[in-house]
Each structure stands twice: as structure tokens, then as C-alpha cells.
Amino acid sequence: MKLPAAFTFKAALTLKAALKPEIVFPLMPVLLVWLWASLQPQMKLYDANWSLFWPQAGLLLLQCMPLLLAQALLSWLHNQVTPSRLTNSFVLLFWGVGMLVYPAVALLAGNAKPQGLSHLLLAPGLSLLYWLHFWYQRRLQQGSHSRWQWLFSLDAVLLMLLLAWTIGWAFLLVSHQPGFAQQPVPIRFDWQRLLQNPGLFLSYLCQFSVLAATMWASYWLNRYWLIRCILAQYGLLPFVLISLTLILLCYPLLAMLLLQLPMNAVEVPAVPAGGPNPFDWYNFFFMFMQWLLTTPLILAFDRQQQEKNLAQIQHRQVQTELLLLQQQINPHFLFNTLNNLYALCLVQSEQAPTLILRLADLLRYVVYQGSQPLVTLQQEINYLQDYLALQQLRVSNKTELSLSLPEHADHYLLPPLLLIMLVENAYKHGVESTAEPSKVKIQLQLQGNRLIFICENTVPSQKNAGPAGIGLENLRRRLQLCYGNNYTLSSAATAFGWCAELTIKLEQNPC
């Protein structure tokens, strides 16, 4: 039976939505552990046993289901804009039960050997690593820096892996006799022998440190000289030729150095070739494969770091541009207010001292709050009220002001000096340019966390043509920098006269 085209299209859209990276990535630590646990029994068989594989995979998936749900819930929580404290507590509690309590209870139940539940013990560790990495990436995107940031660099990660490898092998060889003379080396730890032979442990630790140092030196030379100097400046072919030449020159010398270690005085020494000949092909092949595998990894990591640095530079440029736009708005307002003060002083108005006090309050807001990234909506409303009171002292005889303000405005945040431009334009083009009676109507409405700001003014019957101001264009640019495309700004003629309407999404005030 052929499926309808519409049904197939909807199914494809559903699958595409389900496979979004932000949905799939958080589940990868658990899915990886489940896949490894499902495939591991088949790896020990001579031939694949499909009749055994599918039931085992299904049973393991059921065992991992609480882990998957815990990861999915925590991922959902991070995707919420403003989750409640109750939601935070519930999801974190569920993650703790799914990732910590559930594996511990399954292990203590005794229904299976600890080896059979190793996937339940490995998944919480990978989950914790994933969320630490997620937190680190989020901090980088926000431009935050920490003195522990170097721990996430490629150099630090490789050093920690080599250190773990060195300590692990030292523990392993001390746990039984006679070191590498017994092949294959048994994978077991004898803690009693470790306590009885601390000197032997230090000896193996030093010898494996030499092995780790050779691998680190190869990596360092490849990254900081061959890639950053030769490849970056001279191109691919000189990089390949010089790399192969260095490998051919160095591999027998390094192999000879490693053969001098006391632990390699056995029939099968711990060198790639497993024999006493330092010129053996396998020694060269090991160094060649290390170079071949680490080069793409280094290039990918360096490119990612470069993109992060470029993103941070772009972020700083945007912040600088935003600050310049704010500073461009502030003098514009200052000049308008000084013009008002000048006009009142000309007629020797008794209201001039009040105007100066109002001006001081306004300038104090511009200086101290105007440079902040966010202020409360109530602070911005207070600023507008001071400005409107300042204007009405001069034009109240001809201008009717209607003002509608919301309550609980201190619960929300927005960039400072964002609303004043529309009010300034209303007075500049609808009130100050004419002696006719005029009206200004201002409404601030809150719909959830959305702010709707409407500023209307009458238009003079005979409007003088003049140069277009930069205030509205600066406001649009600030909105684009702060909100991207998540805002609406319109300004057009209406039956009332002229109406400007701004809609933005406010942030919750955590205090």
C-alpha cells in the first residue's frame, strides 16, 4: 500500500524535528553506553548471533530508559527561558534519582554481577562530563572567563590523559610479576602489592613518564611548529615532506631510548615493534599513525578556537557599537533639554530652578543608569515621567498629555534609554514646531513579559520641512543589536496624527 505524499512529508518533518542537535546531543552519553553494552557480548563471539543480539539490546535499552529520561528532562530544563524554582528542583531531583540512585539500587539489588551493570555506572560519569562541557560552552558564549579555563584546552586534556595512562600502567605492572615478561598483561589490580612495593611503583611511574613524554613531545612539535609555522606559512606539501623527514630521523632514536628502560629488558619490550630492533618498520608506522591521527584533531580544535575568538571579538564590537549608539542618544537629549532651559531663562520664568533640578535628575540617570546593560522598567518609567514633567512645564498651556502606565514594572528589565526617543520625537515634531494646540498620548502595556509602548501625537497643520533626525535610526539599530529580529517598531500617520509603536520582550528581574 502506497502512503499518501502528505503523510510522508509530515513524517519527514517529524523525524527532522526529532533529530535536531539540541535534542539528540544530550542523549548521546546514554546512547553511547547502551550501544557499547549491546555490542560488547557479540565482540567475543566467532560469528554474530543475531537471535541473541536483539533481545539483549532491547533489555539493555529498558535498563537505560531512566537514564535517558533524566538526560532528556535536564535538557528540557536548560531550553526553558525562565523555569520556576519548583521546576528546577523537580528536574534536578529526577536527574539525581535517574543517574545516581537508580544505578546504585540496581547494583545493590544483586540481580546481576557488577560487570553486567557497568553501563549503568559509566552513563552517569559521561552525563556529568557532558553537562560540564555544556556549562563551559555556555560561559564562553557569554564572554565569561575563568582561571580554570585552561583545563579545557587541548594541551591540558592531553596531559591529563597521558598522566592517567602513566599511573594506570604503573599500578597494573606493580600488581603482578614479572611486568612485561608475561604477555598478555593481566588486567587486574592488587592493592596489597601496591602498598608493599612503593619503590617499584615509582620506578614504573618514571619509566612510563618517559614514554608519555615522547608522545607529548611529538604532539607539541606537530602542533606548534609543523602546523602553525610550516603548514600555515608554506602550505601542505612542505608540511608533509618535513613531517615525514622528521619521523624517519627520530623514530629509531626514540625507539633506542625506550629500549634502554629497565622494564624493556624482556623478550617483548614496550615499544611498538615489540622487539630489540629500533629500526623496525612498526616503530616508524606507530609514529606515522600518531602524526596522521593527531594532525586532523589539532586542525579541528584550532579552527574551533579561532571561531570562538572571532565570535568573542564580534561580541565586543557589538557591545562597543551599542555603547556608542547610547552615547549618541544622550547628547541629543541633553541639547533638547538645554534648549528648553534656555527658552525659560529668556522669559525669566520662575519655573527655571525646578527645570534645573529636573535636568539634574535626568542627567544623573543618563550617567549612572545609561551605561548599564539593563535597568528595571520602573526606572525607565520614572525617567520618562521626569522628562514629561520637564516638557509640560513649558508647553502645558497648549499641550494635553495623556499617560497610561502599568503596575509591577519593577519585575521586568530592559536596556536603558530605549523609550525616550519616541517621546522626544513626539514633542519635537508634534509640539515644539507649532503654536497650535496639540496632544500627546503615551501608553505602556504589559502582556506577560511583552511590553507594548505606544506614543501618539498630533501633527501641525503646516509642517516645516527639515532634515531627518538620526534618533529613530539609532533606536532601530539599538533594537537590532539588543533583540535581533525579536522586536517590532512602526511609525506612521494615523487619524489621530502620528503613531509610533514598539513591542519588545522583557527579561524577568531575578530580584
Does any domain span residue 11? no
pLDDT in tens, 106-158: 767 655 444 556 667 788 888 887 777 777 666 655 555 555 566 667 888 88
The 3-state secondary structure of 252-291 reads HHHHHHHHCCHHHCCCCCCCCCCCCCCCCHHHHHHHHHHH
Q: Which three cell numbers stand for residue 174?
A: 606493580
Please state, in angstroms and rounded to a whole number, the distance separating the CA atoms of residues 500 and 492. 7
CATH number at residue 433: 3.30.565.10
Does any domain span residue 408? yes
Q: Is the pLDDT of residue 443 over 90?
A: yes
Q: Is the pLDDT of residue 466 over 50?
A: no
Please state, in angstroms and rounded to a whole number, the distance separating the CA atoms of residues 147 and 200. 37
> What local confidence, expressed as pLDDT, does residue 18 receive?
47
> What local confidence, expressed as pLDDT, does residue 114 receive?
47
Rounded to 10 deg, the angle between the 50-79 and 102-109 helix axes is 150
Q: Are residues 358 and 393 in the same domain?
A: yes
Based on the structure, what is the number of domains in the chain? 3
- Residue that finishes a domain, picked among 106, 139, 172: 139
Q: Is the pLDDT of residue 328 over 60?
A: no
Does any domain span residue 146? no
Given pLDDT bands bounded at 50, 70 and 90, which one contains residue 163?
A: very high
- Residue that finishes a domain, picked among 139, 165, 194: 139
pLDDT in tens, 35-69: 888 888 887 777 777 888 888 888 888 888 888 88
Q: Is the pLDDT of residue 316 over 50?
A: yes
Q: Is the pLDDT of residue 249 over 80?
A: yes
User: In which domain, by residue range, is 450 found?
Assistant: 354-462+469-508
Does any domain span residue 376? yes
The strand ranges marked E within 379-494 are 399-404, 412-414, 438-447, 450-457, 487-493
Does any domain span residue 6? no
Higher pLDDT, 190 or 242: 242
**Residue indicated by cell numbers 514646531:** 433
Three-state DSSP class for residue 340: helix
Q: Are residues 110 and 188 in the same domain?
A: no
Please state, in angstroms and rounded to a whole number, the distance separating the CA atoms of residues 68 and 27. 6
Q: Are residues 485 and 370 in the same domain?
A: yes
Q: Are residues 160 and 132 in the same domain?
A: no
Q: Are residues 130 and 240 in the same domain?
A: no
- Residue that finishes a domain, picked among 139, 174, 202: 139
Q: Are residues 476 and 372 in the same domain?
A: yes
pLDDT in tens, 364-420: 887 777 778 888 999 999 889 888 887 787 777 888 999 999 888 888 899 888 888
Q: Is the pLDDT of residue 465 over 60?
A: no
Q: 117: burial class by Cβ within 10 Å (0-12, 13-18, 19+)?
A: middle
pLDDT in tens, 444-464: 999 888 999 999 998 887 765
Does any domain span residue 298? no
Given pLDDT bands bounded at 50, 70 and 90, which one contains residue 172?
A: confident
Q: Are residues 66 and 96 in the same domain?
A: yes
Q: Is the pLDDT of residue 330 over 90?
A: no
CB 374 within 8 A of CB 415: yes
Residue 30, phi then psi, degrees to nearest 5: -75, -40
Given pLDDT bands bounded at 50, 70 and 90, which one contains residue 244?
A: very high
Q: Are residues 71 and 203 in the same domain?
A: no
CB 377 within 8 A of CB 413: yes
Q: Give the count of alpha carbons within 13 A of 119, CB side only.
A: 26
In terms of phi and psi (left: phi > 0; alpha: psi -120 to 50; beta: otherwise), the region of 235 is: left
CB 36 within 8 A of CB 95: no
Q: Are residues 402 and 499 in the same domain?
A: yes
Q: Are residues 37 and 172 in the same domain?
A: no
Concatenated DSSP letters for 352-370? HHHHHHHHHHHHHIIIIIT
> What local confidence, expressed as pLDDT, does residue 309 receive?
73
Looking at 74-83, 234-243, 438-447, which range is the least confident one? Answer: 74-83
Range 318-338 average pLDDT: 60
Does any domain span residue 33? yes
pLDDT in tens, 250-286: 989 998 988 888 888 877 787 888 888 889 888 899 8
Range 192-215 average pLDDT: 87
% of the chain residues with pLDDT over 70 = 78
Please state, in angstroms and rounded to a whole number, the distance separating the CA atoms of residues 113 and 134. 33
- Tell which residue, 270, 279, 280, 271, has the closest CA to residue 181: 270
Q: Are residues 28 and 96 in the same domain?
A: yes
Range 302-331 average pLDDT: 67
- State how far the alpha carbon of 202 is from the alpha carbons of 169, 217, 268, in Å: 11, 22, 22
Please state, in angstroms and rounded to a whole number, the distance separating the CA atoms of residues 403 and 455. 10
Given pLDDT bands bounded at 50, 70 and 90, which one contains residue 7?
A: very low
Does any domain span residue 288? no
Q: Are residues 123 and 185 in the same domain?
A: no
